[in-house]
């Protein structure tokens, strides 16, 4: 009987310990699947960004920071420096810091899968920003990059006219959805003119200095070029620099993002023909608001489009200002 009593006490104690263990998460940030994390107190957001080597991404960070401050939320930031392995490690670090929700601007939409899996395991929901991922995010905040490319392409096609000509395309990042969509939209816009031929340039990772180097070679091998289209304004301005140095004011240039330097160049009615709005400050603000809603358990759309518009010689003066990027509200 004594042995039975001892065994009864042992198993009873063991059952209580087991129940207690089930109620406590050993994973940083919470337990269960995506969205199960419960927060207490002020909202804490982790922001894993692909790079800071482009004005757009620098401003995107600033927009998110200002929005978080206004909302009374704490924002932890990590710069992957274009390295997807570092980004996956950054995401894990942000999870360990106990963030309530993650914003991820992926280096590689597929390569960041490990980081998203870690977030799901920890019960931390993810909002992707600017660049979408195939799966694993509660919501995506960005803009229609196909529409951006198409708007700019239509303008360039109109300026080249029936004679068409050769267009050099300077691309963003290999495998990136933004680069893919901006290219597809542009190609669609000029496809009707069979006299337009697009020469595919290298991937320059949205960095001006890389575009300068690429354009120097491209101009030598394509002296009959009539226009240059780059997947962002920073690269387009790099191409414009090379064209100016070579006295080629006859070559039209276009980019995307509405970088103020490009908008001012368009307003001068020179070779720079067009760009499309992609204000990173408002994008960062929308991303933070979406992250708040997701963390609070509110229903959000799977994809949130922050909108765009064409900036050309007809309306550029309306957008000229003292900001780094032109905004939709400037009209």
Do residues 178 and 312 share a domain?
yes
Do residues 194 and 263 share a domain?
yes
Do residues 231 and 195 share a domain?
yes
Do residues 190 and 224 share a domain?
yes
Residue 17 counted as domain residue: no
Residue 19 counted as domain residue: no
| pLDDT for residue 30 | 31
Query: What does the longest C-alpha to C-alpha distance in the chain come to?
Result: 103
Do residues 118 and 171 share a domain?
no
Do residues 149 and 135 share a domain?
no
pTM of the model: 0.81
Residue 290 counted as domain residue: yes
* Domain that residue 53 falls in: 42-142+279-299
Which CATH number characterizes residue 108's domain?
Answer: 3.40.50.2300
d(CA 313, CA 254): 12
Residue 211 counted as domain residue: yes
Residue 31 counted as domain residue: no
| pLDDT for residue 26 | 24
Q: How many CB atoms lie within 10 A of CB 32?
A: 14
Residue 250 counted as domain residue: yes
Is residue 16 classed as helix, strand or coil in its secondary structure? helix
Residue 329 counted as domain residue: no
| pLDDT for residue 41 | 75
Do residues 78 and 172 share a domain?
no
- Residue 213's φ and ψ, nearest 5 degrees, are -60, -45
Do residues 312 and 178 share a domain?
yes
> Which ranges of the chain have pLDDT less than 70?
1-40, 329-331
Residue 32 counted as domain residue: no
d(CA 173, CA 175): 6
Domains identified in the chain, total number: 2
Do residues 115 and 150 share a domain?
no
User: Which residue, 170, 205, 171, 177, is CA-closest to 51?
Assistant: 205
Do residues 183 and 240 share a domain?
yes
| pLDDT for residue 152 | 98
Q: Where are the beta strands (DSSP E) in the chain?
A: 44-49, 74-79, 101-104, 125-129, 139-142, 165-171, 196-203, 225-230, 252-254, 272-276, 303-305, 310-312
Do residues 207 and 191 share a domain?
yes
Do residues 266 and 284 share a domain?
no
């Amino acid at each position: 009987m004594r042995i039975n009593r001892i065994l009864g006490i042992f198993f009873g104690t063991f059952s209580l310990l087991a129940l207690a263990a089930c109620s406590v998460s050993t994973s940083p940030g919470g337990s269960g699947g995506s969205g199960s994390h419960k927060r207490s107190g002020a909202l804490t957001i982790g922001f894993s960004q692909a790079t800071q080597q482009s004005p757009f991404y620098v401003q995107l960070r600033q927009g998110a920071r200002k929005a978080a401050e206004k909302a009374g939320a704490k924002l932890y930031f990590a710069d992957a420096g274009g390295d997807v392995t570092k980004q996956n490690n950054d995401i894990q670090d942000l999870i360990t810091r106990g963030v309530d929700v993650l914003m991820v601007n992926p280096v590689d939409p597929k390569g960041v899968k490990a980081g998203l899996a870690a977030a799901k395991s920890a019960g931390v929901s993810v909002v992707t920003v600017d660049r979408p991922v195939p799966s694993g995010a509660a919501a995506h905040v960005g803009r229609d990059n196909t529409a951006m490319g198409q708007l700019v392409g239509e303008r360039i096609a109109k300026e080249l006219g029936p004679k068409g000509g050769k267009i050099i395309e300077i691309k963003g990042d290999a495998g990136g959805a933004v680069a893919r969509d901006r290219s597809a939209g542009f190609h669609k816009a000029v496809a009707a003119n069979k006299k337009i031929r697009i020469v595919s340039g290298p991937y320059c990772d949205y960095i001006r200095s890389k575009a300068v180097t690429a354009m120097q070679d491209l101009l030598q091998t394509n002296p009959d070029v009539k226009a240059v289209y780059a997947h962002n304004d920073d690269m387009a301005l790099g191409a414009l620099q090379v064209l100016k140095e070579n006295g080629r004011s006859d070559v039209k240039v276009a980019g995307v993002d509405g970088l103020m330097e490009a908008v001012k160049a368009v307003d001068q009615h020179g070779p720079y023909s067009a760009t499309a709005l992609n204000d990173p400050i408002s994008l960062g603000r929308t991303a933070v608001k979406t992250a708040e809603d997701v963390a609070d358990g509110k229903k959000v759309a799977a994809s949130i489009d922050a909108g765009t518009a064409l900036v050309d010689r007809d309306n550029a003066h309306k957008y000229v200002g003292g900001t780094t990027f032109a905004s939709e509200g400037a009209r």
